Amino acid sequence: MNSSLLSKTIYVGLDNKLTTIREAVLLANKNDTILVKNGIYKESKIYIKKPIHVVGQDFPIIDGENKVENLFIVEADGSSISGLRFTNVALSYTKEVAGIFISSCDNFILKDNYFENVFYGLIIQDSNYGVIQNNKIIGQALDEVSSGNGIHIWKSSNIRVEKNEIRSMRDGIYLEFVGGSFVSNNYCEDNIRYGLHFMFSDNNEYYQNEFKNNGAGVAVMFSKFIKIYHNIFHFNWGTSSYGLLLKEINDLEIRDNLFQQNTIGLKIDGCNRVNYSHNSFIGNGWAIRFTGGCYDNLFEYNSFINNAFDVSYNSSLNNNLFQTNYWSEYNGYDLNKDGIGDVPYRPVKLFSYIVNKVPEALVLLRSLFIDVVNFSEKVSPVFTPENLMDRKPLMSSIK
297-307 per-position pLDDT tens digit:
999 999 999 99
Query: CA angle, 381 as apex, 375 and 385 as ends, to 5°?
Result: 120
Residues 6 or more apart from 19 whose CB is under 8 A from it?
A: 12, 13
For residue 369, what pLDDT is reported?
A: 47
42-83 per-position pLDDT tens digit:
999 999 999 999 999 999 999 999 999 999 999 999 999 999
pLDDT level of residue 387 (50, 70, 90 thresholds): confident
Please state, in angstroms and as integers, the Cα–Cα distance from residue 325 to each residue in 177, 236, 332, 394, 395, following that order: 35, 24, 13, 6, 9
Determine, yes or no, domain membership for 111.
yes
Answer whether 55's CB lies under 8 Å from 62's CB. no
Determine, yes or no, domain membership for 386.
no
Answer whether 32's CB lies under 8 Å from 6's CB. no
Answer whether 117's CB lies under 8 Å from 89's CB. yes
184-240 per-position pLDDT tens digit:
999 999 999 999 999 999 999 999 999 999 998 899 999 999 999 999 999 999 888
Determine, yes or no, domain membership for 184.
yes
For residue 383, what pLDDT is reported?
A: 53
Determine, yes or no, domain membership for 375.
no
Determine, yes or no, domain membership for 373.
no
Instruction: Kindly report the pTM of this predicted structure.
Output: 0.92
Determine, yes or no, domain membership for 212.
yes
Determine, yes or no, domain membership for 100.
yes
Determine, yes or no, domain membership for 345.
no
Amino acid at residue number 176: E
User: Which CATH number is 263's domain given?
Assistant: 2.160.20.10
Domain that holds residue 106: 3-310
Check the CA dihedral 339-342-343-344 and report its sign: positive
Number of domains making up the chain? 1
